[in-house]
Structure 1
Amino acid sequence: MVALAISAVVAVIGASAMSTALDFYGRNNDRARSREEVRGAERILRHEWTTRGIAVKGSATTLEFDTLHPVMDAPGAAPAIARVEYACETAEGGGTMVLVHRVKTLAVATTNNRQPAPTLLDTSVLASGLRMCAFSYLTRMPNREGKPIPTWLAKWEQLRQPPDLLRLGLSGVRDDMPALVYSARGEATAP
């Protein structure tokens, strides 16, 4: 009888240890997947940002610019130049956010006042399960004395020049990823 009770206690302890280990490895796997998605999104944005045009348009949740080398998941050859859009959107079911990447054709200049809408070529979700996703833009604003001081803005509408720096804040399962910052001064090219 005592041996049966001891073996039952050992079995419960073993099952508890196995459950704890499986839970640990499952959470660790989720964290690793989240970090890899964020790093992949960072690499794609860095690649497209280095060959961007001068016009940059953005808000706290979207970023749009023209690039010479768009990254596409769709089969077939990517266009030589395209407009890319990054958007932080609420995921289905709510609670988390996703970073969506869209590649569009450039609007064709026409002789009449109507310009056709750009055609959507590819859409992909770069990162999912995000707790935070936001863009901000660094520029120099004059202070009270008229001296320019660096200021982060939540919206960028100056189509003549890019911001001094672009900051993308992404955090997945844990808040362990620092904001990503991209240089803009002197690197923009006219497509």
Structure 2
Amino acid sequence: MNLESIKTNFIKRNIKSEVFYKEEDIINYIKELIKDAKTVGIGGSITIEQLGLYEIFKEEEKEIFWHWKVEPEKRNEILKKASSSNIYFSSSNAIVEDGRLVNIDGNGNRVSSMIFGPDKVVIIAGKNKIVSNIDAALKRIKEEACPLNARRLNRDTPCAITGKCNDCKGVNRMCNVTTIIEGHLPSVDIEVLLIDKDLGY
């Protein structure tokens, strides 16, 4: 299924969506989105990092709340501020072709901020995150995204070694909260930006 069809499926679920084929176009669109925002929150995201959005938000003189950019002792404070920002940016672990967003979190800060708190939430996802159904979404997360994240964070989890989920029960477990966004939420304005490029994992 092509990106335009997936965009249509999001819109059918009353979730705003746009498709981009050039990185410069999505950057220009994002700059317009943040024009009137004073505060910008960011969820943990390699996609956001690869697009260089943090630097762009700094250039636009926004107050940015991203726990990746502060000392460990300040992270909880920044996570809370991010969750009540004017606009919150993140990616999604998996995009289902029928217009659903599937995510798994360790702390829950990213998935909770997607569904309640910020005035607006912008989800950015590359074509590599598109899957056919919910089962494929969960498989992708547990066998691709989580193991790579565990290795990046030097987590002592089985998936970091084996490359797939072992349903571990330890304190370092990364799969603690699972959410599926299936439609428009009255509490937050969600917009999904799809880009014809492989980004994040």
Q: TM-score surpassing 0.5?
A: no
Q: TM-score, normalised by structure 1?
A: 0.25
Greater percentage in strand: 1
Question: In terms of Rg, which structure is larger?
Answer: 1
Q: TM-score, normalised by structure 2?
A: 0.24
The higher-RCO structure (CA 8 Å, 6+ apart) is 2
Greater percentage in helix: 2
